[in-house]
Amino acid sequence: MGNLFQELKRRKVARTAVVYLAAAFAVLEFSDIAFPRIGLSDQAVDMVLWAGLLGFPIVLVLSWYLELRSEPPSAHAARWFSLPVLAIAALLIGLGAGAGYLAGGDSSTNDLPELIITPLTNTSGLNLSGSWSPDGSQLVYDYTLNGTMDIAVMSMGGGESRLLTSGPNDEAMPRWSPDGSKIAFISDDGSGTNIYWVPPTGGTRRKIAETYYQYLDNFTAIAVIGSQPWSPDGQQIVFSRVVPTGVALWIVDVLSGEETQLTKPDPGVRDLRAAWSNGGEWIAFTRAPQLGRPLNGLYLIRASGGEVVPLLVNENRNGSPNWGLDDSRILFTISSTLNGGGDVWDIEIDSGELRQLTNGAGASFPIISSTGRISFSRWSHEATFFQMEVDSDNPHRQISLSIGNNFSQRFSPDGRQIVFQSARGGRSEIWLHDVATGAESQLTYPPSGVEDRTPDWSPGGDEIVFLSNREGPFQLWVSSIDGGTPRRLSEQAIPMAGDWWVNARVAPRWSSDGSTIAYLAPGGDGSSALWLIDPDGNNARQTDISGVLRFDWYRESQQVIYTRVALGGPARIEMVAHDLRSGDEVILLEENVTELSVAPDLGSVAYNSANGHFSMNRYLLQLSPPVADRLPRALGEPEQITFGDGVWHVHGGAWTPDSTQIVYTKDFDRGNLLVIDNYR
């Protein structure tokens, strides 16, 4: 062994290895910086790395047999490196560059200019989206002000923005018509998300169409209109509408109100974010293959109808298509997280060639102007748990350090743990929070591409029921609190039409007597119905309640409190107490109610309410004392118990077993608009 080391030293193999590694590192760093500048793809850098790794043992062998070293000794100070080593390092550059050219350098990425990204807005609230005037001199955009979202117009020449709408409800996703005479937008007054238009100078808004999306329950409603919903002549709008099987594209004539269904999706499929081509022949849109699945594909359909043509369908979350100026390319986003927000790409329609325009931009809703400028929104939210004492003025206390989208919390029967869903790892999993220590641990480990959501405890505290798409559609699953392999409770598919980060709309609920699990699934008429199933997975049956938005158990397995759109009345939501045996009902409240939870002592029901998503707070409605089998009545007016003041809003709200405290999710939304210049 000693002789081997002496021989390695004599032949200077170690020195050659050090010189090689240093040179290879320098070459790799140079490649990482320079290659993108000359239009070579990331694959070129990868090839340099692999060439360097493969070249290392070759250099060592050559050093042994050829004695590669810096001779003569007198020239050592000036020639500490060897010519063969430098030659091999140069070879690495050639290998990487050549392979990169073959792998992607011959794409049109080579002539993509250096893009310039600058901010358009700088607010402490949230900008969701902006749309250019036909000449590109103005931008209409939405923003949160005092908790509600309004619409304003800014001039690219400078000056103060001009408020366009300021109603009591959120008004969002403004879209300028091609002739410049109208601005379309969405709003929900309690009856669902409707599409309106208003003149660019302001004035009375006019309804264009109804989408049947409940905005407070389903923030995905912002996708009912895409980046270019107007036909080129400004006479029609393409939009998305909830239908019994899913979400379909429709076209409406703005003046006459005449409507035509454009797509007929399979059950559970959602067609969203439709964009009309500049030539008027085609419409691009995103299609989610199944409710609750985050993956979207880009599709095309002729504006006159016909077959749907897939454009880009892969394992990415492809969204927000927007036609380029000559209709040869489509801009879109690939989201890097479940929050939405990713990078802007474009695709050449004829060849399918892809180009990545941004890197780490966190972009949503890219929209190109007639002058080639691209606006997009960069927004995010932080969601963590806070605990409050219901009958106390004590400050609410943050109990979770993670801001990674923590929702759907439920207390264990003994009050020692909180089970919840968290997407801190990029997708929803079931986690546990120890109330005493604050420690959090992961309970379920879904396979790649799978999510576990909306958990609830068994009355004994030894099991958790939740929804998971482990075997395709979302279905009921049960897991032991000690871990182990979950078991599927039912084969029935449960569409998750709500947003991935809230989802509580279809959360299963275990009755306090342990005999029944209630959940929401499509009924015979296609609407959301209340279903019951035994904990062993048998006897799944539909109740007589349909059109359910949210629900919770009131008394054991006999009575529930749920919400629905008011029947034949004003455009509001009703909170209703219902007896499952007799069918008797009592209306408790008519208000924009969502995310309700009944106190374990049955003395009150807590819920979230607001005229807009970004101003939601928690409220408390006192109920009459429980008597025998009687349904409860509302006592007095609701009391507001959280005050986000437009800075943050509330999701969820779980009661402690003694009905004295509530843990809720405090959600901070922030975002601004940016613009990309020099795109072609």
pLDDT digits over 276-299, tens only?
Answer: 999 999 999 999 865 444 457 999
Q: What is the mean pLDDT of the chain?
A: 84
Q: How far apart, in whole angstroms, are the C-alpha atoms of residue 301 and residue 528?
A: 29
| Residue 528 confidence class, pLDDT cut points 50, 70, 90 | confident
Q: Residue 636: is its pLDDT beyond 80?
A: yes
53 class by beta-carbon count within 10 Å (0-12 exposed, 13-18 middle, 19+ buried): exposed
C-alpha distances in angstroms, 7 versus 4, 62, 141? 5, 14, 73
The proportion of the chain whose per-residue pLDDT surpasses 90, expressed as a percent, equals 53
Q: Examine the pLDDT at 635 and tell me if it is beyond 60.
A: yes
Q: Which amino acid, one-letter code, is at 645? A: D
Predicted local confidence at residue 99, as pLDDT? 47
Torsion of CA 487, 493, 494, 496, to 10 degrees: 110
Please give the Cα distance from 42 to 20 (Å, whole number): 23
CB-based burial of residue 402 (10 Å sphere; 0-12 exposed, 13-18 middle, 19+ buried)? Answer: middle
pLDDT tens digits, residue range 137-159? 999 999 987 678 899 999 998 88
Q: pLDDT tens across 472-499, in order? A: 888 999 999 988 899 999 999 887 654 5
Q: Is the pLDDT of residue 604 over 90?
A: yes
* Residue 598: per-residue pLDDT: 97
Q: Could you tell me the pLDDT band of residue 64, with boundaries at 50, 70 and 90?
A: low
Output the pLDDT for position 26: 67
Q: Please give the Cα distance from 59 to 211 (Å, whole number).
A: 67
Residue 482 has which token pair?
């000690």
Element (H, E) at 418: strand 417-422
Does the pLDDT value for residue 637 go beyond 50?
Answer: yes
Q: What is the pLDDT of residues 86-137, one digit of tens each?
A: 555 555 555 544 544 444 333 344 455 688 999 999 888 888 899 999 999 9
Residue type, position 77, single letter: A
Say whether pLDDT at 355 is over 70: yes
Question: What is the SS3 string spanning 149-189?
Answer: EEEEEEECCCCCCEEEECCCCCEEEEEECCCCCCEEEEEEC
Q: What is the DSSP letter of 126?
A: B
Better-predicted residue by pLDDT, 238 or 4: 238
Output the pLDDT for position 101: 43
Pick the residue with more confidence: 190 or 559?
Answer: 559
Contact 274, 284 (CB under 8 A): yes
State the CATH architecture for 116-381+672-677.
Answer: 6 Propeller (2.120)
Least confident of 18-32, 343-357, 526-540: 18-32
The residues spanned by each domain of the chain are 2-111, 116-381+672-677
pLDDT digits (tens, 9 = 90+) for 190-200: 677 899 999 99
